[in-house]
């Protein structure tokens, strides 16, 4: 089995127990993020930062830049949402994309799906595009281009996890 990353929070004792269990079965890399030790960690193109009152999770904008480059949409007019009712309900038509266009569409949809793992703002767009991957039609590019216009204005996205009750003093990342 192969797992890229596991990110856990908890007490020192619980996280030490988990690390020991994982190391008894798997070869792992381990990183702790906590004040005074390592307040910032980069993991799978994502940055996790421990701040005084919040933990942040920021995805790497590289994937947005690659998509905007591939589709020549850096100068596109940004929109405020990754999908719209119009882009979700576009009638695709009866004409399939060419093999090359279908490959490009699937590649972009897969990259957006990957990005959505750390970007909840792309979750619905990833689902909409995934439903069109099996047999991309000419009209399906409307939904993709809507998402790319959103990315033109929102290449980075940071999730904030503010402290509520301090139950943990560190974050462990296993890879």
19 bridge partner residues: none
Return the closest-CA partner of residue 125 out of 99, 151, 103.
151
Per-residue pLDDT tens for 33-51? 766 555 666 666 678 887 7
pLDDT digits (tens, 9 = 90+) for 84-131: 887 666 666 678 999 999 999 999 999 999 999 888 999 999 999 999
Residues 6+ apart with CB under 8 A from 24: none
pTM for the model: 0.76
Report pLDDT digits (tens) over 53-78.
Answer: 788 888 888 999 999 999 999 999 99
| Alpha-carbon span 154 to 152, nearest angstrom | 6
**Distance (Å, whole) CA 52 – CA 18:** 26
Relative orientation angle of helices 62-70 and 141-153, to the nearest 10 degrees: 130
């Amino acid at each position: 089995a192969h797992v890229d990353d596991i990110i856990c929070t908890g007490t020192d004792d619980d996280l030490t127990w988990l690390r020991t269990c994982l190391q008894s079965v798997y070869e792992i890399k381990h990183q702790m993020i906590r004040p005074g030790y390592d307040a910032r960690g980069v993991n799978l193109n994502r940055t996790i930062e421990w701040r005084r009152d919040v933990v942040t999770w920021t995805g790497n904008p590289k994937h947005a830049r690659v998509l905007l480059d591939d589709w020549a949409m850096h100068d596109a007019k940004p929109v405020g949402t990754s999908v719209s009712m119009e882009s979700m309900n576009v009638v695709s038509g009866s004409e399939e994309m060419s093999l090359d266009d279908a490959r490009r569409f699937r590649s972009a949809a897969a990259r957006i799906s990957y990005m959505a793992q750390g970007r909840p703002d792309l979750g619905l767009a990833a689902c909409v595009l995934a439903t069109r991957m099996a047999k991309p039609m000419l009209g399906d590019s409307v939904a993709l281009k809507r998402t790319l216009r959103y990315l033109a204005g929102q290449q980075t996205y940071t999730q904030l996890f503010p402290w509520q009750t301090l139950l943990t003093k560190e974050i462990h990342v296993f890879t």
